[in-house]
Amino acid sequence: MGKETGFLEIKRKGNPFRPVAERIRDFEELYDGISEEDRRAQASVCMNCGVPFCQSGMLLSGMLTGCPLHNLIPEWNDEIYRGNYRNAVSRLLKTNPFPEFTGRVCPALCEKACMCGQYGDAVTIHDNEKFLIETAFANGDMQPRIPVKRSKKKVAVIGSGPSGLACADALNQRGHNVTVYEREDAIGGLLMYGIPNMKLDKNVIARRRKLMEEEGITFLTGVDVGRDMPSEELVKEYDAVVLCCGAKQARQIPAADPAGMKGVYMAVDFLSSTTKALMSAQTTDLAQAKKGSFISAKDKHVVIIGGGDTGNDCIGTAIRHGAKTVTAVEMMPKPPEERAADNPWPEWPKVFKVDYGHEEAIKTFGKDVRLFCTTVTDAAADKNGKIKSVTLADISFEDRRPVIHEETKRTIPCELLLIAAGFTGCEPYVPDAFGIKRTERGNVMTAEGKHRAGDGKIFTAGDMHIGQSLVVRAIAEGLAAADEVDVFLMGYGR
């Protein structure tokens, strides 16, 4: 169980952020590491609880807490503490095929459910996971796992985000012949073009792709199934088709763009344009990227609608561009500093947090740039049709409906408006091409808890199935769908 008295003696020491003044000059990853000695000490804090909520992913009060992959966290924490890294990574990979992704971008649901965190600081599970997988790569332990025996079954996975990659990996390991189709020019889905490089270096995705290709998976990029490739061809050629296209139907904000004016973009388009420019120039220094190849916030007044992770990423990216000002608008009230009485452990803590982008904004502009209980009611353009200002107003909620306080309306300059207000389901053209139904929320319809869409050979997984969620949950979805597909193809599972 690690060190018996570790949780009493050792204080939490997570991977520190790089200094703000240094990191906002580039798109290198955000964190520095800690020493191997310190990392083993941090792992020793894990108590191997009788009921480890950290690995017991569940929904409590409609919120996910604990690891949806059911990672064997106390086991590999103990192995890290004892220096048995090869044993530790074998236990980690038993449940999580991509720790290098979750160890960087997961919000650490496991830590929110950690017993040590009920009254003090949680174990550094998230950082321990990243250390473990990166050590395995550095030591040469991450070698291709080529299936000994192949089935004659062929599976097409449409979409290469975390759910598609997880599904493809699992089906390939079971001996099926897997081809992954991706409409973008690189695999990864939102891992590649939704999450900025400072949170997830794109070389990490390229490294995983190389490994998966060596294991026998075929990736076909630049193929937009349902448009470039008819669905009928796939249904005819493959024994099963798994749709993992994400929930990329962005929520529209009509008041923010009443006439299609220039300078208004969806957050994902803004973020992906920066990533593509950096990749094209093979750099993490935006100054070296080709001018005009990305949506620039340099010297502009930037307004961001939406206060989630994507909004935070937009703040950090705009600051790296050299924005003149940044204002982030959030409809919901500011969360409390500590857990409310009706939000007890081990529920996900609905508390106020300062993420990396918020910290950078405070250091850059001298204040937190977030405005809570605020909305954009109108936008105005100049004579060239380019946005020049937005009108803000305070709101309150009555019967869960927002009420605009007219007397609080004010106009602020805005030369770049980014909409990070979430998504409303999958883009309909793919399910429509396969003739499968969608729910009222825009997700592919299946029986509850299942992944088969209808009674044919079409399956689905990830955000396309459950709606906008987390990378770790998408991976769990992909693995669950792979189990169903395996039984469908072979008549039995593992």
Each residue's pLDDT tens digit, 116-170: 998 889 999 999 999 999 999 999 999 999 999 999 999 999 999 999 999 999 9
Q: What is the pLDDT of residue 253?
A: 79
Answer whether residue 187 is part of any domain. Answer: yes
Asked whether residue 270 falls in the same domain as residue 357, the answer is yes
Alpha-carbon 125 to chain mean position: 18
Over 185-238, what HEC string results? CCCCCHHHHCCCCCCCCHHHHHHHHHHHHHCCCEEEECCCECCCECHHHHHHHC
Q: Please give the sequence-ordered ranges of beta strands (E in DSSP) within 110-208, or none if there are none.
A: 154-158, 177-182
Tell me the pLDDT band of 259, cut-offs 50, 70 and 90. Answer: low
- CA–CA distance from 459 to each of 139, 149, 249, 439 (Å)? 37, 24, 20, 15
Asked whether residue 407 falls in the same domain as residue 438, the answer is no
Asked whether residue 56 falls in the same domain as residue 197, the answer is no
Single residue among 377, 393, 419 that ends a domain in this structure? 419
Distance CA 25, CA 56 (A): 40
Please state the rounded mean pLDDT for residues 71-97. 97
Task: Provide the sign of the torsion angle of the four alpha carbons 260, 263, 268, 273, taken in this order.
Answer: positive
Q: Would the pLDDT of 1 be above 80?
A: no
Segments forming the whole domain that contains residue 371: 254-419
Tell me the pLDDT band of 336, cut-offs 50, 70 and 90. Answer: very high
Helical (H) or strand (E) element with 459: strand 458-460
| Cβ atoms 399, 228 nearer than 8 A | no
Q: What is the pLDDT of residue 327?
A: 98
Answer whether residue 38 is part of any domain. Answer: yes
CATH assignment of the domain containing 24: 1.10.1060.10
Distance CA 110, CA 53 (A): 8
Answer whether residue 145 is part of any domain. Answer: no
Please state the rounded mean pLDDT for residues 353-379. 97
Asked whether residue 405 falls in the same domain as residue 430, the answer is no
Asked whether residue 38 falls in the same domain as residue 132, the answer is yes
C-beta neighbour count of 355 within 10 angstroms: 16
Asked whether residue 291 falls in the same domain as residue 375, the answer is yes
Distance CA 301, CA 415 (A): 5
Distance CA 311, CA 159 (A): 24
Q: Would the pLDDT of 203 be above 90?
A: yes
Answer whether residue 149 is part of any domain. Answer: no
* Total domains in the fold of the chain: 3
| Cβ atoms 178, 210 nearer than 8 A | no
- What is the per-residue pLDDT across 457-477, written as a single tens digit (0 to 9) for each? 999 999 999 999 999 999 999
Asked whether residue 316 falls in the same domain as residue 259, the answer is yes
Asked whether residue 221 falls in the same domain as residue 98, the answer is no
Asked whether residue 56 falls in the same domain as residue 162, the answer is no
Single residue among 138, 163, 180 that ends a domain in this structure? 138
Alpha-carbon 113 to chain mean position: 19
Answer whether residue 390 is part of any domain. Answer: yes
| Cβ atoms 348, 324 nearer than 8 A | no
Answer whether residue 207 is part of any domain. Answer: yes
β-strands 154-158, 177-182: how paired? Answer: parallel
Single residue among 362, 396, 419 that ends a domain in this structure? 419
Q: Would the pLDDT of 396 be above 70?
A: yes
Q: What is the pLDDT of residue 287?
A: 85
Q: Would the pLDDT of 255 be above 80?
A: no
Q: What is the pTM (predicted TM-score) of this model?
A: 0.95
Asked whether residue 375 falls in the same domain as residue 441, the answer is no
Asked whether residue 11 falls in the same domain as residue 121, the answer is yes
Nearest to 130 by CA among 202, 200, 49: 200
Lowest-pLDDT range of 186-200, 282-296, 338-352: 282-296
Asked whether residue 268 falls in the same domain as residue 408, the answer is yes
Q: Would the pLDDT of 6 be above 90?
A: no
Please state the rounded mean pLDDT for residues 251-258. 73
β-strands 458-460, 240-243: how paired? Answer: parallel
Helical (H) or strand (E) element with 302: strand 301-305
Answer whether residue 17 is part of any domain. Answer: yes
Rounded mean pLDDT of the chain? 94
Distance CA 396, CA 373 (A): 6
CATH assignment of the domain containing 356: 3.50.50.60
Answer whether residue 143 is part of any domain. Answer: no
Please state the rounded mean pLDDT for residues 169-193. 97
